[in-house]
Amino acid sequence: MENPYDYDLVVIGGGPAGEKGAAQAAYFGKKVALVERQPAGVGGASLNTGTHSKALRETALYFSGLRQRRLYGIDYSLQKSLNINSLMDREQTVVETERAIITHNLERHHIETIWGLASLINAHTIRVSLNEGGTRDLRAEIILIATGSSPFHPAGVPFDFQHIHDSDSILKMESLPRSLAIIGGGVIGSEYASIFTALGVEVTLVDGRDRLLPFADEEIVGRLRAHLESLGLRFIFNTRLEKTQITFEGVSLGLSSGEVLEAETVLFAAGRQSNVEGLGLEAHGVSLGQRGLVLVNEKYQTSLPNIYAAGDVIGFPALASTSMEQARVAIVHAFDLHYKERVSAVVPLAVYTIPEISMAGLTEDECRQKNIPCLVGRALYANNRRGQIIGDTDGMLKLVFSPADKTLLGVHIIGELASELIHLGANVMAGGGTIDAFIEAVYNYPTLSDSYKYAAYDGLGKWNELQK
């Protein structure tokens, strides 16, 4: 019988989820096409904006001297005329190199890349409005939606991308502002607040909740807030924005507290929305949620059985790392491959603030809320030889574990290399291990990794007290 499909799989979107989903299918011999609308190339938000912000973070650390101040007493003054591009000279090289790696990966898997804007004609047909002109219809057995997300624009906010920015346009500012107000204390708001504070900008962060990063461990977030306040960052919590007006001097913000906050520039970090506009998903039976989130089951299958979705387009945690894994699981299920059938239950998460924080598993707060008995072991960078050498004396590693059998429940880190160190704890947790794993291990010395051992000993001391 003649195959009614042009492709086994068509992927819409060339970000982390799209690339890895396409490669997974091609690896198992499937005929795959990938549709990407951005003329700049594949990579998605992870590459096109994520790399920019991470590069800006590293540049802020370098030019501000924050890593060296406690060691050498050095202070640096930045030229206020510097624009964002001048602070990220190397960033474009990184982006181009990474894009070339992604392109090569698609080519070596014989994945056809089609440049244009996709829309759904029916459950098995995609029409592409080609960037070069004209249209092309693609028939596919399986479709994977991996179109990512974009900054959400609240109604009534006059975004002009000169005085009022979202998290994409903020990277295109012509020069550093004297003052910056950030609306939103989530991941993006917290990261940019710390970066611009390090660059010497007067930053005020406003959030309607009572703390930063509500999903993170409260003790860790408290240390982050204290550090940023010591650098001059001002926080306003439990306060809503009620009015936004562009003025001659910049932007005037009317707050629910009655305060009028004046700033040269404003960044709205009010979350993101899925890139589904124009795809025609709902018209063909694909269920959507708030802000366009594509609704999926545990195998990343939509309400149409042959259409899957993965990555930012389905919402939290919206990380490149999990997006890749989601897409792989989706493809394995779609083609009944019996290979990678689930995303790990232990997913590490990093927030690239200054200092960075990272976490995996349950927080101490969650244990209390869920009535899960727990004990905590801590190790301070200030007591770690490597921490002293690099001048990071504010860092801390925290283990949350069960008093019944010492099973590791959560790992939470603030400080240098937190996003790297978290994987040691996450791997122990994924294997159902206990804090004894760190006590039995041997670590290079001096290293920050050695903090695991001393956090475990701290926790063991508390556990021993319970046994008496």
pLDDT tens-digit readout, 328-366: 999 999 999 988 888 999 999 999 999 999 999 999 999
Query: For 207-213, which contacts have Cβ atoms below 8 Å and span 24 or more sequence positions?
Result: 207/183, 207/235, 207/236, 207/237, 207/239, 208/237, 208/238, 208/239, 208/240, 209/185, 209/237, 209/238, 210/237, 210/238, 211/185, 211/237, 212/185, 213/185, 213/186, 213/187, 213/351, 213/357
User: Looking at the predicted structure, is the pLDDT value of residue 194 above 90?
Assistant: yes
At residue 76, the pLDDT reads 44
Question: CATH number of the domain at 355-467, please?
Answer: 3.30.390.30
Q: Give the CATH number of domain 7-56+88-150+273-334; options: 1.10.287.90, 3.40.50.1000, 3.30.365.10, 3.50.50.60.
A: 3.50.50.60
Q: Is 157 left (phi over 0), alpha (psi -120 to 50) or beta?
A: beta
pLDDT band for position 293 (cuts 50, 70, 90): very high
Domain boundaries, the chain: 7-56+88-150+273-334, 164-269, 355-467
What distances in angstroms separate CA 466 from CA 373, 459, 461, one per listed residue? Answer: 12, 11, 9
| pLDDT tens profile 3-40 | 789 999 999 999 999 999 999 999 999 999 999 998 76
The confidence score (pLDDT) of residue 40 equals 66
- The 3-state secondary structure of the chain reads CCCCCCEEEEEECCCHHHHHHHHHHHHCCCCEEEEECCCCCCCHHHHHHHHHHHHHHHHHHHHHCCCCHHHHCCCCCCCCCCCCHHHCCCHHHHHHHHHHHHHHHHHHCCCEEEEEEEEEEECCEEEEEECCCCEEEEEEEEEEECCCEEECCCCCCCCCCCCEECCCHHHHCCCCCCEEEEECCCHHHHHHHHHHHHCCCEEEEECCCCCCCCCCCHHHHHHHHHHHHHCCCEEECCCCEEEEEECCCCEEEEECCCCEEEECEEEECCCEEECCCCCCCHHHCCCECHHHCECCCCCCECCCCCEEECHHHHCCCCCHHHHHHHHHHHHHHHCCCCCCCCCCCCCCEEECCCCCEEEEECCHHHHHHCCCCCEEEEEEHHHCHHHHHHCCCCCEEEEEECCCCCEEEEEEEECCCHHHHHHHHHHHHHCCCECHHHHHCCCCCCCCCCHHHHHHHHHHHHHHHHHC
Domains 7-56+88-150+273-334 and 164-269 in one fold: yes
**pLDDT of the residue at 144:** 98
pLDDT at 283 over 70: yes
Q: At 76, list the tokens.
A: 């640096």
Radius of gyration, CA atoms only, the chain: 24
Whole-model pTM: value is 0.89
Q: Which superfamily, per CATH, for 164-269?
A: FAD/NAD(P)-binding domain (3.50.50.60)
Q: What is the pLDDT of residue 73?
A: 44
